[in-house]
Structure 1
Amino acid sequence: MKKNALLLLFTLSFSIISRAQTVDEVIENYLKAVGGKEKLLSLKTLRTTGFLKMQGMEIPYIQQQKAPNLQRSVALFQEKSIYQNCFDGTTGWHTNPKTLQLEKLTAEESETLKADIQMLDPFVNYAERGYSVTLEGKMLVEGKDCYRVRLLKKPPPMTNATVAELSSFYFFDTKTYLPVLVRNAIKKGTGKGGYMDTYLSKFQTVNDMVFPFEITQKINGKTTLSISVTQVETNLDLTDQEFAFPG
Structure 2
Amino acid sequence: MRKLTIPKILFLVLITSCFNVITAQNLDDIIAKHIKAMGGAEKLSKLKSMKITADMDVMNMKVPITTTIIQDQGFRSETTVQGMTVVQAINGNTGWAINPMTGQTKATALPEEAIKSMAAETDLTGLYNYKEKGYILTLDGEEDLAGAKVYKVSMTLKNGIKRLNYISKDTFYILKIIVHANMNGQDVTSENTQSDFRQVDGVTYPFKSEVTTSAMPGTTMALAIKTLEVNPKIDPSIFTMPVN
Q: Which amino acid aligns with 2:234?
A: L
Q: 1:229 to 1:19 in 2, by over 3 A?
A: same
Mapped partners of 2:165, 2:30: distance in 1: 11
More strand by share: 2
Q: Counterpart of 1:195?
A: 189
Aligned-partner residue type, residue 105 of structure 1: A
| Cα offsets for 1:6-43 (capped at 9, x unmatched) | xxxxxxxxx9xx68971111111111001012211101
Q: CA deviation digits over 1:131-158, x for unaligned, max 9? A: 1110011111122110000011223xxx
1:71 aligns with 2:75: yes
User: Aligned-pair distance for 1:75?
Assistant: 1.3
Tell me how far apart the structure 2 counterparts of residues 55 and 114 of structure 1 sit (CA, whole Å): 23
Q: Is the Cα–Cα contact under 8 Å of residues 168 and 185 in structure 1 kept in the other structure? A: yes
The aligned counterpart of 1:46 is 50
Alignment of 1:1-247 (within 5 A): 22-84=26-88, 86-96=89-99, 98-106=102-110, 108-109=112-113, 111-113=115-117, 115-155=119-159, 166-189=161-184, 192-219=186-213, 222-247=218-243
Q: Is the 8 A contact 1:69 1:114 kept in 2?
A: no
Identify which range, 102-111 or 33-42, moves more after superposition: 102-111
- Confirm or deny: 8 A CA contact 2:175 2:195 kept in the other structure: yes
> 1:93 & 1:202 partners in 2: Cα distance?
32
Measured after TM superposition, the shift of residue 120 of structure 1 is 3.6
Cα shift at 1:225: 1.4
Please say if residues 59 and 219 of structure 2, whose CA atoms lie closer than 8 Å, have aligned partners that are also in contact. no
Contact 2:75–2:122 (CA<8 Å) still a contact in 1? no
Q: Which moved more, 1:114-123 or 1:170-179?
A: 114-123
Letter in 1 for 2:63: I
Partner Cα distance (1:53, 1:66) in 2: 26
> How many Å separate the matches in 2 of 1:235 and 1:65?
9
Distance 1:183 1:208 in 2: 26
Q: Does structure 1 conserve the Cα–Cα contact (< 8 Å) formed by 2:113 and 2:184?
A: no
RMSD: 2.4
Q: Quote the Cα distance in structure 2 between the aligned partners of 1:194 and 1:93.
A: 20
Residue 95 of structure 1 aligns with an amino acid whose one-letter code is I
Gaps of 5+ in 2: 1-18
Distance 1:152 1:242, change over 3 A: same
Amino acid at match of 1:170: N
Distance in 1 (CA, whole Å) between partners of 2:75 and 2:97 is 11
Whether the 8 Å CA contact 1:91–1:107 is kept in 2: the answer is no
CA-to-aligned-CA distance 1:186-231 (integer Å, 9 cap, x gap) = 42159x3242110100111100111111011123684431211011
Distance 1:98 1:240, change over 3 A: same
Deviation at 1:242, TM superposition (A): 2.1
Q: How many residues align?
A: 220
Q: Which amino acid aligns with 2:173?
A: L
Q: 1:129 to 1:113 in 2, by over 3 A?
A: same
In structure 2, distance between residues paired with 1:89 and 1:219:
25
Equivalents in 1 of 2:114, 2:238: separation in Å? 18
